[in-house]
Amino acid sequence: MIIDLPDTTTRAINSRLLKERDEGGAIALGRVLTLIIDTAGHDPEESIDAANDASREHPCRVIVIAKDTKDRSSTLDAQIRLGGDAGASEVIVLRPSGALDRHLDTLVMPLMLPDAPIVTWWPYEFPDNPSEHPLGHMAQRRITDTSQLARPTAGLQKLREAYVEGDTDLAWSRATLWRGLIAATLDQPPYEPVRKAVVVGESRHSSVDLMAAWLAYSLKCPVEIQRFADAPAITQVRLERSSGDIVLDRPDGKTAALRQPDQPEHRIALPIRQLRECLAEELRRLDADEVYGEVLLKGLAKVGE
């Protein structure tokens, strides 16, 4: 169900939500958090679809701020999505214009769930200091996505300079399966130090940088990044040891081959993670991701040394 509310107010939006709950009886009250999505001037549909899918694991109220591109005075258009159009959530799309666009925190406050955690997500461009932004300051978790930037590496450096506990980036989530597989191989004998690590991947993909930073921080070894313009995200991680190299290779973006000394080659399903999977992973925890913080603050500086 999609309900359009042109030239409205937050009071009218709340009243309509209560009316639909009373009349329909199908709107669940067991929301576990409020997810605020600031899409700026981008089309919000991809982000809404990802949030709807993630909400099946984390029922929530989704408040989407989509900038009104029309040149108008202070006006608020809204849309409420319920039922099949909202997954396991209830979606409120806000299109503020004029002065309303400069006071986003006061705009969303009346619509947030009481006594529920708040997560703010910037799917595209994000503020220089997410924790000091009005929408980030009120949130327990702040999610960015440097892979959507024109200069992802510069975006990571910006996040590093402004990092506080509760910040995270979806480029980190996209490398979760890689980190798990690499950690599992190092838990097997022989327990030798890694002399050098090599990460191969797409030239602009920030997951490549974070994977290299994690290796540099965790293994205390030199890390080299090899970048290719048409590669599908991360394509290979190679760990050089005295007994032979450990190589996790995924040239097609779907299936990886794990090669280790004195062992047969293992084929592993390792598809590129979708946006909804990464978002759902980040919504599972509302505490600080300490490993991400250490990698961003300490590991990133070691890459390229």
Q: How far apart are CA 240 and CA 163, in angstroms?
A: 32
Q: What is the pLDDT of residue 29?
A: 57
CA distances from 81 to 99, 150, 286 (A): 25, 32, 25
Q: Where are the domains of the chain?
A: 2-169, 176-269
Q: What is the pLDDT of residue 31?
A: 81
Number of Cα atoms under 13 Å in the Cβ half of residue 55: 29
Check if the beta carbon of residue 1 is closer than 8 Å to that of residue 25.
no
Do the strands 196-202 and 234-240 form a parallel or antiparallel pair, or are they unpaired? antiparallel
Query: Environment class of residue 91 by beta-carbon count within 10 Å: exposed (0-12), middle (13-18) or buried (19+)?
Result: buried
Q: How far apart are CA 206 and CA 212, in angstroms?
A: 10
DSSP 260-300: -TTS--EEEE-PPPPHHHHHHHHHT--S--HHHHHIIIIIH
Q: How far apart are CA 237 and CA 178, in angstroms?
A: 9
Q: What is the DSSP-derived secondary structure letter of residue 243?
A: T
Q: What is the pLDDT of residue 305?
A: 46
**Triad 31, 273, 184: Cα angle to 5°:** 105
| pLDDT < 70 regions, the chain | 24-29, 69-72, 304-305
Q: What is the pLDDT of residue 137?
A: 96
Q: What is the pLDDT of residue 68?
A: 72
Check if the beta carbon of residue 255 is closer than 8 Å to that of residue 216.
no
DSSP 117-185: -EEEE-SS---SSGGGSHHHHT-SEEEE-GGGSSSHHHHHHHHHHH--TTEEEHHHHTTHHHHHHHHHH
Residue 248 host element (H or E): strand 246-249
Q: Is 30 helix (H, G, I), strand (E, B) or coil?
A: coil
pLDDT digits (tens, 9 = 90+) for 158-172: 999 999 999 999 999
